[in-house]
Amino acid sequence: MKVAVIGVGHVGLVTAATLAHFGHDVVGLDEDPAKIDTLQQGRAPFYEPGLQDLLDEVLGSGKLRFTREAAEAIEGADCAFICVGTPARADGEANLLAVENAARSVARNATGDIVVIQKSTVPVSTADRLHSIFAKATTHRIRLVSSPEFLREGAAVQDSLKPDRILVGSDDPEAHALMRKLYEPVLGGDCRYFEVDIHTAELAKHACNAFLALKISFANALARVCEASGADVVSVADIMGSDHRIGRDFLNAGLGYGGYCFPKDLLAFKAVAGRLGYDFGLLEEVMKINRGALDATVQKIKDALWNVESKKVLLLGLSFKPGTDDVRESPALNLARALTDLGAEVVGCDPQANEFAVREMPGLQVVEDPYKGAEGAHCIVVCTEWPEFADLDFVRLKGIVTLPMIVDGRNLLNEKDVVEAGFSYLPTGRPPANL
């Protein structure tokens, strides 16, 4: 099957490479010349475990290629995926301009009937707008599908090659038939295939992300109660997670959620609910608790250092989660900004995200070597749970810092190792040690 993928960012590129791996002929389309140049040279423009190896395979086989020309990508295609960004507007609504432009591009360049698969996260009823665009822009029949992605950054390749679910929403039986053929290599086994109407599919993606964010914020609110009472939030979460009705995933207290998806999707979901006549106040509370998680960490650092001005703080981790170089809405960078505003000297260290962090926050000092960054530091803060940071030599660190103080914003470290090395240890939602 010939497939066009419009937008080759974190979702589109993994989708394109996976479909090529399944044997389809795929053309990736993007308007960013630097990104296309990088891909045409055979290199992934961002870090995602396993992605470069997958690209090497499908580019070598000739099943995947890239272009900036819409006609080249869409001409003769059986289907086209829309995988463009939907950032939040100032009022919280999703900005769907890129989706609209992609839809019009398909309509203008289609050379026959085509199935359009909307993979970007969009508000419910976006399909109605797209149907209207197609009806006015082309005489070809365009069948529309909503098939939101459920990829986790840091595990996106694995999630795409071996998905646990595929969601397909459409009101057209022939579109459903094409989607089953497209994903035939992964159907069956442990992969659940949901075949629903198009509005259900659109709404389900926002509902999933909102509920996962709710679990994270619940854990962070719980951490505040645990710190006040002397309880251990990790043990409480383990007990909760042992109940199969709750589950342990996304119950880790810390600096809060970040990344491209959760922040914008909660705003968009709340906005669309309001537009439909329902005040989804719970979502506002989820966002409020998330902001409070960062504020609590700032306060913990202020309490530990007394005066933050002119103190050196090393942030371990700058990406919003391990396994990715993505720093969009990263809690670590928000913490860096807050500490800089308080007059601290902030230095960041991340295995993958240093370059992107500096682009996002010009002027931020970054180092490749955490020991170099720790020289003269008054406080070390664990911001992202990269496994590399759990294996640091804390005795060596103790010898090069000015003040042996560690704030563990992700409960990553082994308290015994840290305390025995001579550090004061301030975890999240757990009693401090060696103060």
* Nearest-angstrom CA–CA distance, 337 and 432: 25
Indicate the pLDDT class of residue 137, thresholds 50, 70 and 90.
Answer: confident
Q: Look up residue 74 and give its two tokens.
A: 């869409």
Q: Residue 435 pLDDT more than 80?
A: no
pLDDT given at position 190? 87
Same domain? 303 vs 267: no
Residue 20 belongs to a domain: yes
**246 phi, psi to nearest 5 deg:** -105, -55
Which of 195, 214, 244 marks a domain boundary?
195
b or e along 412-421 (b: 16 or more beta carbons within 10 Å of the residue's beta carbon)?
A: bbebebbbeb
Residue 97 DSSP one-character state: H
334: how many CB neighbours lie within 10 A of its CB?
A: 20
Q: Look up residue 16 and give its two tokens.
A: 């394109």
Residue 435 belongs to a domain: no
pLDDT given at position 434? 85
pLDDT given at position 372? 97
Same domain? 27 vs 51: yes
pLDDT given at position 26? 97
Average pLDDT of the residues in 310-325? 97
Same domain? 19 vs 121: yes
Q: Look up residue 29 and give its two tokens.
A: 């389309």
pLDDT tens-digit readout, 241-270: 999 999 999 999 999 999 999 999 999 999
How many domains does one find in the chain? 3
H or E element in which residue 335 lies: helix 331-341
Average pLDDT, the chain: 96
Residue 215 belongs to a domain: yes
Cβ-Cβ contacts under 8 Å for 178 (sequence gap 6 or more): 1, 78, 79, 115, 143
pLDDT given at position 176? 95
Average pLDDT of the residues in 325-348? 97
Indicate the pLDDT class of residue 378, thresholds 50, 70 and 90.
Answer: very high
Residue 432 belongs to a domain: no
Which of 195, 225, 253 marks a domain boundary?
195
Same domain? 67 vs 164: yes
233-241 and 198-229 helices, crossing angle to 10°: 140
Indicate the pLDDT class of residue 227, thresholds 50, 70 and 90.
Answer: very high
Same domain? 408 vs 352: yes
Q: Residue 48 pLDDT more than 80?
A: yes
Residue with tokens 């119950």: 251
What's the distance, CA 47 to chain centroid?
13
pTM, rounded to two decimals: 0.92
- CB distance 321 to 384 below 8 Å: yes
Q: Residue 276 pLDDT more than 80?
A: yes
Boundaries of domain holding 104: 2-195
* Nearest-angstrom CA–CA distance, 20 and 286: 39
Cβ-Cβ contacts under 8 Å for 180 (sequence gap 6 or more): 187, 193
Same domain? 9 vs 121: yes
More confident residue, 137 or 286: 286
Same domain? 269 vs 405: no
* Nearest-angstrom CA–CA distance, 116 and 142: 7
Same domain? 337 vs 414: yes
pLDDT tens-digit readout, 400-418: 999 999 999 999 999 999 9
- CB distance 245 to 277 below 8 Å: no
Residue 133 belongs to a domain: yes
State percent of the chain over pLDDT 90.
97
Average pLDDT of the residues in 66-70? 96
pLDDT given at position 188? 80
> Active-site residue numbers?
261
Residue 276 DSSP one-character state: T
pLDDT tens-digit readout, 379-397: 999 999 999 999 999 999 9
Same domain? 61 vs 125: yes
Average pLDDT of the residues in 89-117? 94
Average pLDDT of the residues in 286-298? 96
Residue 434 belongs to a domain: no
Residue 14 belongs to a domain: yes
pLDDT given at position 138? 87
b or e along 178-215 (b: 16 or more beta carbons within 10 Å of the residue's beta carbon)?
A: bbeebbeebeeeeeeeeebebbebbbbbbebbbebbbb
* Nearest-angstrom CA–CA distance, 142 and 113: 6
CATH of the domain at 260: 1.10.1040.10
Q: HSE on the CB side for 390, CA within 13 Å?
A: 10
Same domain? 276 vs 323: no
CATH of the domain at 389: 3.40.50.720
Same domain? 182 vs 227: no
Residue 240 belongs to a domain: yes
Average pLDDT of the residues in 308-333? 96
Which of 157, 175, 195 marks a domain boundary?
195
Same domain? 112 vs 149: yes
**Count of helix runs (H) and strand runs (E) in the chain:** 18, 14
Dihedral over Cα of 304, 307, 310, 315: its sign: positive
- CB distance 29 to 68 below 8 Å: yes
